[in-house]
Structures are given as C-alpha cells and as structure tokens.
Amino acid sequence: MATKFVTLTSFKGGVGKTTSAICLSCLFAQEGHKVLLIDYDPNRSASVWSSRDQLPFRVATENTANRLMAKEKFDFIVIDTPARPTSEEIKELVDGCDLLLAITTPSALSISALNMMVQSFPAKTKFYVLLTVVPPSSEPDGEIAFHTLKEQGLPVLEQGIQRLKVYEHASAEGKPVYEIKRGGKKAWEDWKALAKLQPIKELLT
C-alpha cells in the first residue's frame, strides 16, 4: 500500500482543524493502519495533545517528520497545517495530496474565510469541506450552513462533526475521544459515520 497523504487546512483559527486531524488519525489507526500526524501548526496543539503518549499514532513536527519517515513507513500521513496558509503553502499542500479537507464551522465568518481560501486554491484543486462544531439539531445553524455550502457549489461532506465538550476533555487528558467515558462514544459516532462516506471510505479500502 502506497502512503496516502491527508491534509487539513483552514483560513480561520478555532474551527476544529487540529481536533479533526487527531480524530482522523485515530480513525485510520483503528483500521489497522500505521499513521503519522505532522504538526505544522505554530500552536503545536497536536503535539501537546500527544505529549502523554496515549494516542494510537505518531506525531512529529515539520522539523522532525523527515527523519521519522526515513526510518519508518507509514500508511497515512496526516498534515495539520497552520491557519491561513500563504498561496505558496497552499500550492505545496495541494501537490501530491490524496485528500484535502477544508475545515469550517457553521458561522458566517468561518464560511466567508472558507470561500476566501477556496478562491486561492490552484485551478482544478480537488477538495472536500468538513463542517465542524455543528450545534445540536434543535438549533438551525448547522442545517443552514449545509444548505449554504451546497448552494455555493462547495463539495461539503454529508456528515458533520457535532459541537461537544468531550473534545476538550480528550485534549486535556491526551487521549482519543472514544476513550473518554462521558460523551466519548457519542462523539466517535460522527467519525465512524464519516468513515462510511466517500472519499474517506475509498482511502480506507
């Protein structure tokens, strides 16, 4: 199996990009794959999350990843990028990427930032939009955001990621979200559902 590269990016901070990178890496690892997450974000949130060595995959920074990849073969390389990448960085992200995920929340500001980023993608860039921090079904914001993204012609994934407090607990404890007793199982259902959809399903087969 050739190594597959998955890149997560956004023009706005606080949209759940690192959380999504961690959870996708957990998802791939649960399927029996060897995974490396490269933490390019200056905040080093993924590195902090992994500092207790309780995640089922490796985490490296852009400074240490090359040495690690020279010694070990990984099935998946997941890249957590800095917020608001430059046009040059975007070109590098797109080149050779098997899956490019643009992350956004339902907020108008976040969707506006998403559109700005999409406009900066090189022509014919293949990408998908992952909607995160989706409020409960009793609030209309999530459904409105899905409709808005579709009306704009953006390839939004049908499965969004709910806004749940358990992600904060998982990060604080340095664990996968599914290992958190209170709320972890509920949160993980979103990711299992995402794994059944294209293009994630195709990557896993």
| Residue 111 contacts residue 148 (beta carbons within 8 Å) | yes
Show the domain range for 129.
4-204
| pTM score | 0.95
Conformational region of residue 86, where left means phi above 0, alpha means psi within -120 to 50, and beta covers everything else: beta
What is the residue whose two structure tokens read 């794959």?
Answer: 33
Cβ count within 10 A of residue 173: 14
Q: How many angstroms separate the CA atoms of 197 and 199, rounded?
A: 6
Cβ count within 10 A of residue 149: 20
- Give the pLDDT band (50/70/90) at residue 84: confident
Give the chain's radius of gyration (CA, Å).
16
Q: Which CATH number fits the domain that encloses residue 186?
A: 3.40.50.300
Q: How many angstroms separate the CA atoms of 107 and 202, rounded?
A: 30
Q: What is the pLDDT of residues 122-177, one digit of tens each?
A: 888 899 999 999 998 878 999 999 999 999 999 999 999 999 999 999 999 999 99
Q: What is the pLDDT of residues 94-108, one digit of tens each?
A: 888 999 999 999 999
Q: What is the pLDDT of residues 22-80, one digit of tens each?
A: 999 999 999 999 999 999 988 899 999 999 999 999 999 989 999 999 999 999 999 99
Q: Which of 26, 14, 105, 147 is nearest to 6 (CA)?
A: 26
Total number of domains in the chain: 1
Tokens of 200: 């994630």
